[in-house]
Chain A
Amino acid sequence: MHWNVIANNFNYFLIGAYPEGPLGGLAMSILLALGGIFGAFWLGLLIGLMRMSKSRTARNFALVYTEIIRGTPLLMVIFWFYFLAPIAFGHTLPEAESALIALIVFTSAYIAEIVRAGVESLPKGQTEAARGTGLSRYQALSYVILPQALFNMIPSFVNQFVSLTKDTSLAFIIGVNELTKAATQVNNRTLNAPTEIFITIAVLYFIICYVLTALSRRLEKRINRYQARDR
């Protein structure tokens, strides 16, 4: 076994050529995941609320959006935005931006479904009572419904973040300098240690995702206990 290949390139796996060169490796994967979840949360919230809106146009738009995205492989969405940019803007976008947009659009469809399920699982009396005290629809939503629904949805958001972290590896296919790309680069250069390299990379992803999964399980238990006390 050639574990020295790992030792020699470990820094490259973690931060790429930074600070002499561009940031890459695991740091880039984490940045993509954080940027992705931030964007996907707001877009997903918007689409999820449109799904429950009074306007039929908004409802249908949200339905078509989530169905199309959820029925399509992420890789297709990534390629699609990558090849759409030259048509839309006349020039190609940088790979990282193009991948980030694709990750946001893809994940937002799943977030929208989480939001819808979270809001629909609240008792209907909550909206009725809020409206009954004289709050407008918008006020009822933002002061009464969403704070409760979003709190209950925290574990699902964390799970979605775990999926997104795994999904950032696909950005490699259009050439973003992240962890998987770093692994293939080192593999192409050394050629004698593919087993060691890909096990190391898998373990790096695993550490992040497993910690988050464990966190989401603990949160879920705590939230269930909290709700049980309420009833």
Chain B
Amino acid sequence: MSYTVDFAKVLSDPYGEWIMQGLGVTLQISAVSIVFSLLLGTIIAVFRLSRVKPLVWFSLAFTEFFRNTPLLVQIFFWYFGSYAILPDVVNKWLYKQDFEFAAGVIALTVYTSAFIAEEIRSGVFAIPKTQLEASRACGLSFLQAMGYVILPQAFRIVIPPLISQFLNLIKNSSLVMTIGVMDLTYMARQIEAHTFHGFEAFTVATGIYLTISLVISYSITLYNKRVLRTTSH
């Protein structure tokens, strides 16, 4: 049996259109998850830095558990198993939405926020302790000191590692195809099923992921250079 490589086939009508639709879904689920994971990750990091013991324990358990289990298992858990632990109201609301998409967003958000919390925590540790003491002495509360003094400085330090976490999230979003979200990977699989040209379909999809990654990591390099130039003045 001979196999002829045929890229034109997987890019022709309607398959080219499918790839673009899949890319749209990938970008959409990534963007939504990036916003939520940044929020949740910041909250978890602040918990860890607070002096309230239960919050510290919660944050520790959260980061350790979600960082040390596979994302795929977490996706399956949120998709198949979350109904038993979530309140009924939340379940009803979730089922009214696009549930595959919602489960994918929850899984990607929770997984990535555990990593983001660790990045932010180490960013905050890089800020001298006297900053917090000084702002507390000025009469700011712990939350005010965090919000106005510590976090704005820490975010500047953690921007490059945060962006590489976002990059990981975009790459990890390929796993949501397993629960039926029609993203880029799902569409490549679909084209394979229709045309038997899996090699070409996945080469095209790989090329798209690679382009996104390279563009973003090139922008980080530019950002680093510019920031270094401005701070050296």
Given A72-B210, A198-B77, A198-B80, A206 contacting B178 (CB threshold 8 A): no
Please count how many residues in chain A sit with their CB below 8 Å of the partner chain's CB atoms. Answer: 44
Residues of A near B83 (CB, < 8 A) are 195
Say yes or no: is B3 at the interface (Cβ < 8 Å to chain A): yes
Q: Which of A1, A82, A166, A210 contacts B64 (CB 8 A)?
A: A210
Could you tell me the distance between the alpha carbons of A83 and B76 in the complex, rounded to whole angstroms? 25
A88-109 CB contact bits vs B (8 Å, 1 = yes)?
0010000000000000000000
Say yes or no: is A67 at the interface (Cβ < 8 Å to chain B): yes
Could you tell me the distance between the alpha carbons of A197 and B71 in the complex, rounded to whole angstroms? 15
**Contact B76–A184 (Cβ < 8 Å):** yes
Q: Which of A72, A83, A202 contacts B74 (CB 8 A)?
A: A202
Could you tell me the distance between the alpha carbons of A73 and B72 in the complex, rounded to whole angstroms? 13
Residues of A near B189 (CB, < 8 A) are 79
Residues of A near B77 (CB, < 8 A) are 195, 198-199, 202
**Contact A73–B73 (Cβ < 8 Å):** no
A 64-86 contacts with B by CB, 8 A: 67-68, 70-77, 79-80, 82-84, 86
Could you tell me the distance between the alpha carbons of A86 and B214 in the complex, rounded to whole angstroms? 29
Secondary structure of the A contact surface, majority rule: helix
**Contact B199–A68 (Cβ < 8 Å):** no
**Contact B185–A76 (Cβ < 8 Å):** yes
Segment touching A, from B39-47, B168-176, B225-233: B168-176
A163-200 CB contact bits vs B (8 Å, 1 = yes)?
00011111011000000100110010000001111110
B78 CB to nearest A CB, Å: 9
B170-214 CB contact bits vs A (8 Å, 1 = yes)?
011011011000000100110010000011001101100110011
Q: Which of B73, B80, B174, B178 contacts A202 (CB 8 A)?
A: B73
B156 CB to nearest A CB, Å: 24
Could you tell me the distance between the alpha carbons of A82 and B202 in the complex, rounded to whole angstroms? 10
Residues of B near A87 (CB, < 8 A) are 3, 5, 199
Q: Which size bracket describes the interface of B in this complex?
A: 35 or more
Residues of B near A187 (CB, < 8 A) are 76, 80
**Contact A75–B185 (Cβ < 8 Å):** yes
**Contact A169–B73 (Cβ < 8 Å):** yes
Could you tell me the distance between the alpha carbons of A195 and B81 in the complex, rounded to whole angstroms? 4
**Contact A76–B82 (Cβ < 8 Å):** no
Residues of B near A72 (CB, < 8 A) are 171, 206, 209-210, 213
**Contact B3–A86 (Cβ < 8 Å):** yes
A170's nearest neighbour on chain B, judged by CB, is: B72
**Contact A162–B82 (Cβ < 8 Å):** no
Say yes or no: is A157 at the interface (Cβ < 8 Å to chain B): no
A91 CB to nearest B CB, Å: 9
Could you tell me the distance between the alpha carbons of A73 and B82 in the complex, rounded to whole angstroms? 26
B200's nearest neighbour on chain A, judged by CB, is: A83
| 17 A–B contacts from the bound complex (CB under 8 Å) | A67-B214, A71-B171, A71-B209, A73-B174, A73-B209, A79-B198, A80-B202, A80-B203, A83-B198, A83-B199, A90-B1, A169-B70, A173-B72, A195-B83, A202-B65, A202-B69, A206-B69
Of all A-B residue pairs in the complex, the 3 with the closest CB atoms, nearest first, are A71-B213, A195-B81, A83-B198
Could you tell me which A residues sit within 8 Å of B by CB distance?
Answer: 1, 67-68, 70-77, 79-80, 82-84, 86-87, 90, 162, 166-170, 172-173, 180, 183-184, 187, 194-199, 201-202, 205-206, 209-210, 213
Could you tell me which B residues sit within 8 Å of A by CB distance?
Answer: 1, 3, 5, 64-65, 67-74, 76-77, 80-85, 171-172, 174-175, 177-178, 185, 188-189, 192, 198-199, 202-203, 205-206, 209-210, 213-214, 217
Given A76-B206, A87-B3, A198-B76, 15 additional A-B pairs, CB 8 A: A71-B213, A71-B217, A73-B175, A79-B198, A79-B202, A166-B70, A170-B175, A173-B178, A195-B83, A198-B80, A202-B65, A202-B73, A202-B74, A205-B69, A209-B68
